[in-house]
Amino acid sequence: MKLSICMGAYPGKDVYYHLGKVREHRFHGLEFYDWADLGDPAAFVKQLEAYDVVINSTCTPFFNLVDGSKADQYLDGIRRTAEACNILGIRSIISQTGDIIPGLSRETHIAQMVETLKRCAELLDRTDIVLELEPLNELNHPGHFLQRSDEAVQIIDAVGSRNVKLVFDVYHQQVAEGDVTRNLTNHLSRINHFHIADNPGRQQPGTGELNYVNILTAIQNTGFDGFVGLECGYTVDTDTALEQFRGDILSKLPAMI
């Protein structure tokens, strides 16, 4: 299990400041949402080498998977993102699905998603880049199509590609469905990446109702070796919050550095 923070954890600070903080706190990666903001990929990679950490995920620039008429636009975004990722060494592309289309059955939404995702899988087949579907809860994202992890797994299984998986956001899944430990364990083979934040408020782990010692222990006990990213707000200074996270939660995990 590797740990990351997200760009924006230190408001107003640039990517290099964030990379330095990743290293300072003995984390492993930084999630950077818009790869185009990194500028020339080859030039950025040369700068990245000095930090001994990685950009572990980014997002695709166009988020509509449910509208089949926009499939070519979606594919173009994935193609451009994958080209950048190949240079930058990024191995995860996060995508939401878009909002429910009024009058369209849920089955048709899913069928159009699967068709587009199969085209994405063909595009990524010769790479080790994974396109990750992210369900979002209805409370924070009214109208978003994909909300539940079981439905995400249904879609991923229908695509049938090692290059299309799930980012399991513990906060979103707690709000959308609950039972997060059982669900993440059952769905582990389809999960490429975790996001964590507490509920309510989506602040740093340890500020709400979720028992992150138990949740992270469950993830660790599966042998998961991918990234767990703190995608959250902070109720105190970020450095203080990360130190508290290590002391109050990480230190209690078995064999956790």
How confident is the prediction for the chain on average, in pLDDT? Answer: 96
Contact 137, 172 (CB under 8 A): yes
End-to-end Cα separation, the chain, in angstroms: 10
pTM of structure: 0.96
> What does the pLDDT read at residue 157?
98
- Domain ranges within the chain, ordered by starting residue: 2-252
* Look-up of token digits 């956001």: 169
Which residues, listed in sequence order, are joined to residue 167 by a DSSP beta bridge? Answer: 193
Quote the DSSP letter at residue 143: T
Q: How confident is the model at residue 145 (pLDDT cuts 50, 70, 90)?
A: very high
Residue 93 main-chain phi, psi, to 5 deg: -115, 120
Among residues 88, 40, 85, which one has the least CA distance to residue 60? 85
What is the distance between the alpha carbons of residues 39 and 250, in angstroms, rounded to a whole number?
A: 34
What is the distance between the alpha carbons of residues 64 and 71, in angstroms, rounded to a whole number?
A: 8
Contact 166, 195 (CB under 8 A): no
Amino acid at 144: H
Q: How confident is the model at residue 121 (pLDDT cuts 50, 70, 90)?
A: very high
Q: Which two tokens stand for residue 185?
A: 């364990």
Q: How confident is the model at residue 137 (pLDDT cuts 50, 70, 90)?
A: very high
Q: What CATH architecture applies to the domain 2-252?
A: Alpha-Beta Barrel (3.20)
DSSP 57-102: EEE-S----S-GGGHHHHHHHHHHHHHHHHHHT--EEEE---BPPT
Summarised one tens digit per residue, pLDDT across range 6-41 is 999 999 999 999 999 999 999 999 999 999 999 999
- The CA–CA distances, whole Å, from 65 to 10, 31, 93, 95, 115 equal 31, 22, 14, 9, 9
pLDDT exceeds 80 at position 257:
no
Q: What is the mean pLDDT of residues 74-81?
A: 98
